[in-house]
Amino acid sequence: MSRHVVRPFEEADLSAAAGLLAQRHQAHRKRHPLLPADYEDERLALVEVTAAWETEGASGAVMVEGGEVTGYLLAAPKPSPVWGPNVWVEAAGHAVREPEHIRDLYGAAAERWVDDGRIAHYVLVPDDAELIDAWFRLAFGSQHAHAVRPVPDAPLPAPPELAVRRATRADIPVLAELDLVLPRHQGLSPVFSSGELPTLEEAVADWEESIDDQDFVTFVASYNGDVIGSSVGCSLDKSSAHNGLAKPDNAGFLGFAAVLPPARGLGAGRVLGEAVLQWSAETGYTSVVTDWRVTNLLSSRAWPRLGFRQTFHRLHRLIGH
């Protein structure tokens, strides 16, 4: 007789799932104390699990051993064509006593997803080696990184040939050009992102409307008087990609940075990132969050060098290919 039973997730499983999630988050915060402490409380973890369960189209599975729920998995689709015919396991969508058991839970839950034609699967996994390994052995691969670091104690000097300042309305033409640099780069090898590329005219119009928005700060770096890169900082509250367990308290957000291709290698990316870090410290934030595609060779090397530590891994699997 099997020592465990895997069955569909039911509303009555929410409380047990919240307990597992709170335990997972407590262990996660031992490695990443900047993550929010609130979700170590089962009552608040329950809010997150309930939200996952009540998302339109949600489904999943639980593992029961000796009458006790020892693991759960929940996912729901996102209505965006960018992600393909998809289903997403968010940060609160899974927790297990034994990492290996996530494979059993996925095996049970994914059958329905694939039967429904949802063949693009995404999961946000804590920075836990055994759990990541279990997902990897389900044919998932790393796609995107979420990371955090404390604000700096003091500003670092910029290279003398580079100048960093706040952007002005006169910078809009080059800011619009830089808005296209990142998605163009993401479309190249080895990223191959299918994200939509705006036109230069659209980018100019967007900057004309938003350049004075006080909720965002934009920096530009110049070399020999010419602007070669930009970065944007804001409150993490402005980012829809970071929420719940993955959202540190009182955090700034390094939301964008790009350098014109001919100017790469001068150190502009570093000083632009440091400008957002220093602004975050001066604004009163205690940490800064950013994220990047792990196949973007530039950002996946630049941001860890600035002290960002990866907290969550977004993994991806495409069925049937």
Cα 119-125-130 angle, rounded to 5 deg? 110
> Residue 93: exposed, middle, or buried by beta-carbon count in 10 A (0-12, 13-18, 19+)?
buried
Length of the chain: 321
Contact in structure between 222 and 170 (CB atoms under 8 Å): no
* pLDDT for residue 80: 82
The pLDDT confidence band at residue 75, using thresholds 50, 70 and 90, is very high
> Residue 300: exposed, middle, or buried by beta-carbon count in 10 A (0-12, 13-18, 19+)?
middle
The pLDDT confidence band at residue 157, using thresholds 50, 70 and 90, is confident
The pairing of beta strand 120-126 with beta strand 86-89: parallel
- 129: which residues sit within 8 A by CB, 6+ positions away? none
* pLDDT, greater one: 2 or 202: 202
The pLDDT confidence band at residue 1, using thresholds 50, 70 and 90, is very low
How high is the mean pLDDT of the chain? 95
The pLDDT confidence band at residue 2, using thresholds 50, 70 and 90, is low
147, 90, 127: which is closest to 287 by C-alpha?
147
Position 120, amino acid? A
Domains of the chain, first to last: 5-138 (3.40.630.30), 150-311 (3.40.630.30)
The pLDDT confidence band at residue 82, using thresholds 50, 70 and 90, is confident
Q: What is the average pLDDT across 135-150?
A: 98
Q: What is the average pLDDT across 277-296?
A: 97
The pLDDT confidence band at residue 194, using thresholds 50, 70 and 90, is confident
Q: Which two tokens stand for residue 71?
A: 């693991």
Q: What is the pLDDT of residues 211-268, one digit of tens each?
A: 999 999 999 999 999 999 999 999 999 999 999 999 999 999 999 999 999 999 999 9
Q: What is the average pLDDT across 111-134?
A: 97
Is the model's pLDDT at 321 over the cut of 90? Answer: no
- In order, the DSSP letters of 33-56 are TTS-GGGGSHHHHHHHHHHHHHST
Q: Where are the strands (E) in the chain, listed by range?
A: 5-8, 59-65, 68-75, 86-89, 94-96, 120-126, 141-150, 162-166, 216-223, 226-235, 251-259, 287-293, 309-318
Is the model's pLDDT at 314 over the cut of 70? Answer: yes
